Structure 1
Amino acid sequence: MSRPPRILDGGTGTGLQEAGIAIAEPWLTSAALRDEAGVAALLGVHTGFLRSGSDVLTANTFRTNTRALARMGVAEADRPGYVRRAVDCAVAARAAAGTPHALVAASVAPVEDCYTPSLTPDDDALRREHRWMAGVLADSETDLVLVETQCTRREAVIAVEAAVERGLTAWVSFVVTGAAQLPDGDSLREAARACVEAGAAAVSANCFPHAAVPRALDQLGGLGAAVGVYPNLEDRAALDEWEHSAHSLPPALTPEAFAGLARRWSAEYELAFVGGCCGTGPAHIGALAGLPVGAAS
């Protein structure tokens, strides 16, 4: 490898849950953006990951698309403010942590549900809504757009196109099954290829079992784009495959075990970035970054 992989942060939702913020419908992670106390908690989550070694910080824009905010009762004129507040909080965390070289990635999720492809709207609605998000982000201090937890090729391509049209760098990441397919049965490789053709600079998989990481990474190489991965680290043995938990779940891997796996994936697949999704805390990121367990803050 010409350089070590960038280290992503962990689960923003997990951190907010541990800070006492309920992650429940309809607000989910956007609950932290409603008031000063929530934003302060979010700032603490971001800063903790940066001080643990993350050099790519994901802004809490995951559930700030116009459709989600409308469902929450947010007036149309106020919706861009939620996106900007999330990005501004990440930028402030970068300054507070003293990590000026860390990248701020704006999260762009499916406009409906990440795990239910049948809910994906038609192409016209997708283009309209992803262009809205890209337009707001183009006027923010985000360094790149992370089109993530995508469950259909169709929406992922449209979201990447919307970002690229506004001059934004786009990375794309798909949620996949244990067999490393998209939830609708589509091929991860072909979905990633379509996104690269649409302008994605990197391809990845996220929020899926860590045991399936090699199967996913086998499909992502050789497409002319950087490759990364950030699996779900929650112990979900008592839940159905895509079942949501309003409370934080214990991690399935210790920080040392996760760091060992992640270093192996990075070396074998020459990853450009690696991290964790739900269930991943600062200690996991600190172990990955080479900090002693317990030094993460």
Structure 2
Amino acid sequence: MDRVSSPGSLFQSRVLVLDGAVGTELERRGVPTPRPLWSAAALLTHPQVVEQIHRDYVEAGAEIIVANTFRTNVRTLRAGVLERGAELNRLALELARKVAQRHEGTQARRHEGGGQSSALPVLVAASVAPVEDCYSPQLVPDEAMLDDEHAQMMAWLKAAGPDLVWIETMNTVREARAAARAAANAGLPCCISFVTRENGDLLSGEPLEAAVAAVEPFGPIALGLNCIPPDGMTRNLPRLRSATQSVGGAHGAETVGDAHPTRLRSATRKAGSAHGTLLAAYAHINNPTPIRGWSFSQQVTPEEYAKYARRWIELGASIVGGCCGTTPAHIAAVRATVDMRAVTRET
């Protein structure tokens, strides 16, 4: 995390662009993603494609790229490669970090040569997914088991050195809480995102407000929604915003030994909601199928997706990106919208 000397500056009074999908982008590029490893298999078979995807997102304008650690957790790796857990997480972070550092080097050289440069570092986040299938909340184990598995995952990630962890697609209150607690105990700043039903409840049927209340004491930088359709994002984001404002936040991560979360939290107070927690929004644009994994038949064009992103910014989102099915073209369209926008957030 020392790579970014002043990460908080990225969160001051501006909208950040998150990257898009990795797993479905691997599939789109012809890389096999067999279950249970899914996207993690590419770390062993096609690391150069993983790196290229990260590079394409940065070139599209992403300021946060998420390493390919969505399926490098304990439960998934028990399918024969558990002993390589630390190695796979380290490799995933190395691939993303290499791209981020190359981008920063290019920006620095451009600036030294008298050209324009954003001079902004690309943050590298590590994805932390549910230990079971994202759409199967009934499979989520008890909290003691969740604590053990997420603690191991955070230990692997801590050693690999991301700028932050991105806990995403959380479908139950207890797993969101367990993952947030593990991140705080490891001294890793985190963002947390939930997957919801059409009505805004978690897939488990638990209220979104209960999930927000469960994780806020651990001081997340941002709370978000992901892996839901764009229309669902537009419909449910106001509920998330209301929940974060109602809870108020205990900001427990500021008491963690590492000072990095504190610097980030201090900056987010200037850009986020009244109590400092940012809102993140990144939707999926195609549907899971039981045979292939994802259907690519129902596409939302980059231009259409950017219009959705503009609306999410109006609704209070400070971080916008893409989930399953989105491509570098979608993120480039979002980047263009953010750069040219005159979007006023609703109060």
TM beyond 0.5: yes
Q: Which residue of 2 aligns with 1:163?
A: 183
Q: Which residue of 2 aligns with 1:294?
A: none
Q: Distance in 2 between matches of 1:277 and 1:45?
A: 14
Secondary structure at the residue paired with 1:227?
strand
Deviations 1:108-167 (CA, angstroms, capped at 9, x unpaired): 001111111111111111111111111111122201110101110100111011001111
- The answer to whether the 8 A contact 1:59-1:87 is kept is yes
- The answer to whether the 8 A contact 2:238-2:315 is kept is no
Q: Which residue of 2 aligns with 1:79?
A: 85
Q: Distance in 1 between matches of 2:48 and 2:161?
A: 19
- The answer to whether the 8 A contact 1:63-1:109 is kept is yes
From 272, 281, 287, the counterpart of 2:327: 281
Q: Distance in 2 between matches of 1:211 and 1:264?
A: 10
Q: Distance in 2 between matches of 1:186 and 1:112?
A: 18
Q: 1:263 is aligned with what amino acid? A: R
Structure 1 segment 93-172 matched on structure 2, within 5 A = 93-97=99-103, 98=106, 101-172=121-192
Q: 2:283 is aligned with what amino acid? A: P
Secondary structure at the residue paired with 1:289?
helix
Q: Distance in 2 between matches of 1:24 and 1:140?
A: 25
Shift of 1:245: 3.5
Q: Distance in 1 between matches of 2:229 and 2:199?
A: 10
From 10, 28, 31, the counterpart of 1:21: 31
Secondary structure at the residue paired with 1:181?
coil
Deviations 1:229-261 (CA, angstroms, capped at 9, x unpaired): 101112x3xx66xx5733561453211111112
Structure 1 segment 147-296 matched on structure 2, within 5 A = 147-221=167-241, 222=245, 223=247, 224=275, 225-234=277-286, 236=287, 243=290, 245-246=292-293, 249-250=296-297, 252-269=299-316, 271-290=317-336
- The answer to whether the 8 A contact 1:14-1:248 is kept is no
Deviations 1:183-214 (CA, angstroms, capped at 9, x unpaired): 11111122122111233221101001111113
1:66 to 1:106, Cα distance in 2 relative to 1, 3 A:
same
Q: 1:150 is aligned with what amino acid? A: M
Shift of 1:67: 1.4
Q: Which residue of 2 aligns with 1:31?
A: 41
Q: Distance in 2 between matches of 1:124 and 1:185?
A: 21
Structure 1 unaligned residues grouped into runs of 5+:
292-297
Deviations 1:168-196 (CA, angstroms, capped at 9, x unpaired): 10110011122222111111122122111
Q: Distance in 2 between matches of 1:245 and 1:211?
A: 24
Q: 1:233 is aligned with what amino acid? A: I
Q: Distance in 2 between matches of 1:166 and 1:46?
A: 26
Q: Distance in 2 between matches of 1:75 and 1:181?
A: 34
Q: Distance in 2 between matches of 1:49 and 1:170?
A: 21
Q: 1:181 is aligned with what amino acid? A: D
Q: Distance in 2 between matches of 1:251 and 1:197?
A: 39
TM-score computed with the length of structure 1 as normaliser: 0.89
- The answer to whether the 8 A contact 1:178-1:209 is kept is no
CA RMSD of aligned residues (A): 1.9
From 51, 74, 83, the counterpart of 1:66: 74
Secondary structure at the residue paired with 1:290?
helix
1:96 to 1:154, Cα distance in 2 relative to 1, 3 A:
same
- The answer to whether the 8 A contact 1:233-1:280 is kept is yes
Secondary structure at the residue paired with 2:336?
coil
Q: 1:124 is aligned with what amino acid? A: A
- The answer to whether the 8 A contact 2:237-2:315 is kept is no
More helix per residue: 1 or 2?
2
1:200 to 1:131, Cα distance in 2 relative to 1, 3 A:
same
